[in-house]
Chains A and B, each alone.
Chain A
């Protein structure tokens, strides 16, 4: 779908040059849901904007299929953009058009006749489950509904890929989950490749197949969600997988062991067996497990015992049970 070769983007600013994206090499495969995760200012938005050339890379090539977008003519680029849908954190709907006419916009500019456009728009309203808001204006919709309209609009021209820049960051957790489920359906049923930008690991956990971890304009690691979640190699990856206060778990101040539940084992039996087996009193700092696609998925943080022997006992137990875990030192994070 996309190949990025050595892509860099440097912004000249009054305080000197800002390297928002540096030497990124990346492949986004047909049909996958690809996540790009990183903290604020990591360059995620800039990178995804390089995919449809809203931002022209200062260096490198962006291949969309066989077409090098950095060398494409204006006309070729506009055509390509019809195959690359995009949705945004702030929805960016046309405030003076109703829902139906918003969805018709991309068809209108592609020269589709009005009647056919309206029919297609109505089909899409069914897909995003918003048929009862056909003639409403954006100001009359909730955030989640606005994002559904934006998704319908982005799908109108039958794109091959959908770019989502923090598409759920302005939404509450429940609405986020619903929108992510909708995106997953679109990916499965229509075969649309999806690129998701987020700073939340739980978004990646819920729907991504593979994920790139970004920091200071650099892609630090790329892997399957499971690989990154169980065994993050980069510093940023390590920080991102630790659940944060927004998920009800305060960030620990002492060294801790992070135990990952990947669907093979579930929370309670592991914990009781661990206590029985080691005979230790365990201090649980926090836990978050979820049922994702039918399997328990999540993590638990327990305080690392200060003596080496107890620590080793816990780690040996987890190793024997084949449960992924890591010791996280707070000096390091």
Chain B
């Protein structure tokens, strides 16, 4: 394999990381408040509100049920407006965030739901405001589960980013598509796939170790 391809792969890895990390962070910036909102307004939440819950839940379900490639195409005008272009890594971040934020919101909601209701009740009995319950009880108690959710989200976003290679996105996905699909260089395609698998493995493993380290529920 020549050095040109190696250079290409290195660049692809860099682009993929850039897309996935920025998208994950952005998806969480949007997804955490959304997830908290879902949790809080749910029927058994701390401030139940059927209307708000129904509206947000519906919108999230709609966005989540649109296949990613269709979503990318459907929001092309929006993407152009936000970043000025529709191709390349930066342009891919926009649909990645749009697709991942609702997913993250659901992950956050389910992590918060795992928090023991008794603990929340105790916090209420001690005179906590709802905001204090969210900040000092719910989120810290759900932290290990939120982190596991983050490794899952990361892998999902990585998968989406590779798909985006088909429609002008950058990174490893684009390399796999260009060399493997259009030029029949199966070896290059296999290598990119292997790299993607490796990245998922590393993050999954690292995430789990971190969770083990920070979770205080286990016996030491």
CB 8 Å contact bits of B185-196 with A (1 = contact, 0 = none): 000000000000
Q: Across the interface, name the chain A residue whose C-beta is closest to B143.
A: A96
What's the interface size class on B, roughly?
20 to 34
- Find residues 70-113 in chain A having any chain B CB closer than 8 Å to their own CB: 77-82, 84, 86, 88, 90, 92-98, 105-106, 108-110
Chain B positions within 8 Å of A80 at CB level: 127
- Tell me if A94 and B137 are in contact (CB < 8 A): yes
Q: Which of B118, B136, B220 contacts A140 (CB 8 A)?
A: B220
- Tell me if A139 and B219 are in contact (CB < 8 A): yes
**Is A54 part of the contact surface with B, judged by Cβ < 8 Å?**
yes
Q: CA of A114 to CA of B158 in the docked complex: distance in angstroms?
A: 42
Q: Across the interface, name the chain B residue whose C-beta is closest to A136.
A: B220
Per DSSP, chain B at the interface is helix
CB 8 Å contact bits of A163-204 with B (1 = contact, 0 = none): 100000000000000000000000000000000000000000
- Tell me if B125 and A84 are in contact (CB < 8 A): yes
- Tell me if A79 and B127 are in contact (CB < 8 A): yes
**Is B122 part of the contact surface with A, judged by Cβ < 8 Å?**
yes
Q: CA of A78 to CA of B131 in the docked complex: distance in angstroms?
A: 13
* Contacts A92-B122, A109-B132, A139-B218 given; does A81 touch B127 at CB 8 Å: yes
- Tell me if B118 and A92 are in contact (CB < 8 A): yes
- Find residues 118-146 in chain B having any chain A CB closer than 8 Å to their own CB: 118-119, 121-129, 132, 136-137, 140-141, 143-144
- Tell me if A139 and B217 are in contact (CB < 8 A): yes
- Tell me if B122 and A96 are in contact (CB < 8 A): no
**Is B81 part of the contact surface with A, judged by Cβ < 8 Å?**
no
- Tell me if B140 and A81 are in contact (CB < 8 A): no
**Is B209 part of the contact surface with A, judged by Cβ < 8 Å?**
no
What's the interface size class on A, roughly?
20 to 34
**Is B216 part of the contact surface with A, judged by Cβ < 8 Å?**
yes
Q: CA of A150 to CA of B122 in the docked complex: distance in angstroms?
A: 10
**Is A52 part of the contact surface with B, judged by Cβ < 8 Å?**
yes
* Contacts A105-B136, A139-B217 given; does A86 touch B127 at CB 8 Å: no
Q: CA of A79 to CA of B129 in the docked complex: distance in angstroms?
A: 11
Chain A positions within 8 Å of B219 at CB level: 139-140
Chain B positions within 8 Å of A105 at CB level: 123, 126, 136
* Contacts A92-B118, A94-B119, A94-B141 given; does A109 touch B125 at CB 8 Å: no
Chain A positions within 8 Å of B216 at CB level: 95-98, 137-139
Q: Across the interface, name the chain A residue whose C-beta is closest to B132.
A: A109
**Is B116 part of the contact surface with A, judged by Cβ < 8 Å?**
yes
Chain A positions within 8 Å of B218 at CB level: 139
Q: Which of B119, B127, B128, B129 contacts A92 (CB 8 A)?
A: B119
Q: Across the interface, name the chain B residue whose C-beta is closest to A84.
A: B125
- Tell me if A82 and B141 are in contact (CB < 8 A): no
Q: CA of A91 to CA of B216 in the docked complex: distance in angstroms?
A: 16
Chain A positions within 8 Å of B141 at CB level: 94-96
Chain A positions within 8 Å of B127 at CB level: 77-82, 106, 109-110, 157
Q: Across the interface, name the chain A residue whose C-beta is closest to B216.
A: A137
- Find residues 72-128 in chain B having any chain A CB closer than 8 Å to their own CB: 116, 118-119, 121-128
Chain A positions within 8 Å of B132 at CB level: 109
Chain B positions within 8 Å of A108 at CB level: 136
Q: CA of A82 to CA of B215 in the docked complex: distance in angstroms?
A: 29
Q: CA of A96 to CA of B141 in the docked complex: distance in angstroms?
A: 6
**27 intermolecular pairs with C-beta atoms under 8 Å apart:** A54-B124, A80-B127, A81-B124, A81-B126, A81-B127, A82-B127, A84-B125, A86-B126, A90-B116, A90-B118, A93-B122, A94-B119, A95-B119, A95-B217, A96-B140, A96-B143, A96-B144, A105-B123, A105-B126, A105-B136, A109-B126, A109-B127, A137-B217, A138-B216, A139-B217, A139-B219, A163-B125
A-B complex: 4 closest residue pairs judged by Cβ atoms: A81-B127, A92-B122, A78-B127, A92-B118
Sample of 6 more A-B contacts, CB < 8 Å, known A84-B125, A93-B122, A97-B216? A86-B126, A92-B121, A105-B136, A137-B220, A139-B219, A154-B126
